[in-house]
Amino acid sequence: MKKFPITLYPTVTPNPNTIKFMADKYLLQPEEGGVDFRTLEEAKDNSPLAVKLFEHFPYITGVFIERNFISISKNEEEMPWDYLTPEVRGFIHHYIVNGNEIVNFSPKEKNEKKVNFESSPLDSKIKALMKQFVDEPVRGDGGKIEFQSYKDGVVTVVLKGACVGCPARNKTLKQGIEDILKSHIPEIKEVIASNG
């Protein structure tokens, strides 16, 4: 098995139950998008790394992998990340350094198989605005907010990674994304999350 040297360091996120591990190499290529698993069952047949994390650390409630980072969420009852980080970091580092498979499918292919919602004439403009103003800041916080649909003035998004269960998610949606979209597209009345 080929060794894969990597540096992995933890960073805090706005979500106290989620920690982000930054890598000095890509874990998934940018064009592949990301993967988000909230259960062991979701991870099975998709991400050997996520499966191992769920099995080894029973307090883990989410694994989000994108580009050069992994965001790990834990249940609220577990002790703070200050105590858990070294062991989880060591586990991930050992797993990757030993050349183990991170995901075993193309995330891009899986994303293309998602349920299709009725499209609107504003979809491409909304996606472009989110790419320009939302993607990088949210990615910097260990999460992702994806456009899902637009209908009757309401933009629906999907929360991933550190955004799931984050105490600041409503502020991000209402005072962040909603304000940005409304200022560029007057037809938009509200931004909601389908999973949050």
Give tens-digit pLDDT for 58-112. 999 999 999 999 999 999 999 999 999 999 999 999 999 999 999 987 665 555 4
| DSSP helix/strand/coil, 113 | coil
* Residue 147: closest CA among 137, 136, 160: 160
Q: Kindly report the pTM of this predicted structure.
A: 0.88
Both structure tokens of 11: 């960073």
CATH topology of domain 114-193: GMP Synthetase; Chain A, domain 3 (3.30.300)
Burial class (CB in 10 A: 0-12, 13-18, 19+), 116: exposed
**CB-based contact 142:162 (threshold 8 Å):** yes
Q: pLDDT tens digits for 168-184?
A: 888 889 889 999 999 99
Per-residue model confidence (pLDDT) at position 195: 87
**CB-based contact 66:111 (threshold 8 Å):** no
Q: Which residues of the chain are in CATH 3.30.300.130 domains?
A: 114-193
Q: Tell me, what amino acid is at 69?
A: F
CA atoms within 13 A on the CB side of 112: 7
Burial class (CB in 10 A: 0-12, 13-18, 19+), 16: middle
Confidence of residue 51 (pLDDT cuts 50, 70, 90): very high
CATH code reported for the domain at 8-110: 3.30.1370.70
* Residue 17: closest CA among 69, 70, 61: 61
CA 15 to chain centre: 12
Per-residue model confidence (pLDDT) at position 113: 47
Q: Which residues of the chain are in CATH 3.30.1370.70 domains?
A: 8-110
For the ranges 99-103, 111-115, 141-145, the lowest mean pLDDT is seen at: 111-115
| DSSP helix/strand/coil, 155 | strand
